[in-house]
Amino acid sequence: MNNTKEGNLQHAIKYSKLNTWQFNRGQQLLKLLNIKRGDTILDLGSGTGELTVKLSESVGLKGKVIAIEPDITRLELSKRNTLKGFDNIDFLSQKAEELDIISEESVDIVYSNYVIMWIEDHSGAFNCAKRYLKKNGLFAMELLLERIPFLSMVNGLTGDAGRQLEATFHGKSKDEWVKFFNEHGFQIEHLECPKLEFNFKNIEHFFDWLEGTSHGAFEVKLLDDKSLLELKKRYPKQVYFEGTGFQAIVKNIK
Ligand SMILES: C[S@@+](CC[C@H](N)C(=O)[O-])C[C@H]1O[C@@H](n2cnc3c(N)ncnc32)[C@H](O)[C@@H]1O
């Protein structure tokens, strides 16, 4: 895996250019929220910041968005993309489960799009979010409900790197999430497990997206020639696969 500064930047740029799928899902989550001018929103795992911009526009100049992202390269890219006209965004390089530098009970909405399945310590992340949320504040999230068989198959073809990537997935079933919310003092306001459809114009487009979204943990050069040839033969044009998401809005009641 190319972990150099330049390698990280290339993967971040790839993600920023090719994250249409995540962006569209994030916009749908945003539409479910009644965001008000002046609200303070915590964007948990803000990536390269395209949805942070949408949150910033929704809260207006009297509001604030606090964007949390542990990957410094992605955070720097977000800052660069929002130099003009987005004075209401604070960017912080922190992990959701280690968040410690914002005022307690100051946030109206925690928003997290396709991040939580990459966090091992769910309790840590939700306890932090709870500390910063106002009473009756909302936590809106969308994530994968379970591993996507097609992605697991492709990752599996890359040996150790693929196995490591698969191990970073931390999912729960719908019932486990419901129990988890109850135990952590959140009341469910909305819950859905949407069918997810992924559509790429060809296999190269898909590989580029996967490299960007996996921070380079998946790299096409890790595939041996035989696997690459088989994938290209199997997907001569469009690449389509499905998965199941988990979309929830929960209220901080304790
Ligand atoms: C698929 S991207 C989603 C980014 C953005 N929310 C979007 O929808 O475009 C997942 C992001 O979660 C971030 N992430 C991973 N672990 C995290 C953690 N422990 N706390 C906060 N963010 C994390 C990654 O660095 C990555 O930028």
- pLDDT, tens only, 57-83: 999 999 999 999 999 999 999 999 888
Q: How far, in Å, from the CA of 230 to the mean position of ligand 1? A: 31
pLDDT number for residue 231: 95
Q: How many Cβ atoms are within 10 Å of 133's Cβ, its own excluded?
A: 24
Among 115, 123, 143, 213, say which to mutate for ligand 1: greatest number of ligand atoms within 8 Å of CB. Answer: 115
Q: How far, in Å, from the CA of 47 to the mean position of ligand 1? A: 5
Q: Which pTM does this prediction carry?
A: 0.96
Averaged confidence pLDDT in the chain: 95
pLDDT in tens, 106-126: 999 999 999 999 999 999 999
In Å, the largest CA–CA distance within the chain is: 56
Mean pLDDT of 221-232: 94
Q: Where are the alpha helices (DSSP H) in 112-202?
A: 122-132, 149-156, 160-167, 174-183
Q: Is the CB of 52 under 6 A from ligand 1?
A: no
- Please, which residues bridge with residue 190 across strands? 249
Q: How far, in Å, from the CA of 182 to the mean position of ligand 1? A: 25
pLDDT band (50, 70, 90) for residue 7: confident
Q: Is the CB of 118 under 6 A from ligand 1?
A: yes
Q: Which residue has a Cα nearest atom 4 of ligand 1?
A: 47
What percentage of the chain has pLDDT greater than the value 90? 91
Is 102's pLDDT higher than 90?
no
pLDDT band (50, 70, 90) for residue 6: confident
pLDDT in tens, 126-140: 999 999 999 999 999
Mean pLDDT of 180-199: 98
Q: Is the CB of 162 under 6 A from ligand 1?
A: no
pLDDT number for residue 96: 97
Mean pLDDT of 180-197: 98
* Domains of the chain with bracketed CATH: 5-146+170-198+242-252 (3.40.50.150)
The candidate with the shortest Cα–Cα distance to 92, out of 106, 111, 72, is 72
The candidate with the shortest Cα–Cα distance to 192, out of 140, 251, 242, is 140
Mean pLDDT of 180-184: 97
Is 2's pLDDT higher than 70?
no
Q: Is the CB of 26 under 6 A from ligand 1?
A: yes
Establish how many alpha carbons lie within 13 A of residue 236's alpha carbon, considering only the half-sphere containing its beta carbon.
1
Q: Report DSSP state, residue 198.
A: E
Q: Which residue has a Cα nearest atom 23 of ligand 1?
A: 45
3-state secondary structure of 193: coil
Q: Where are the alpha helices (DSSP H) in 39-95?
A: 50-59, 72-81
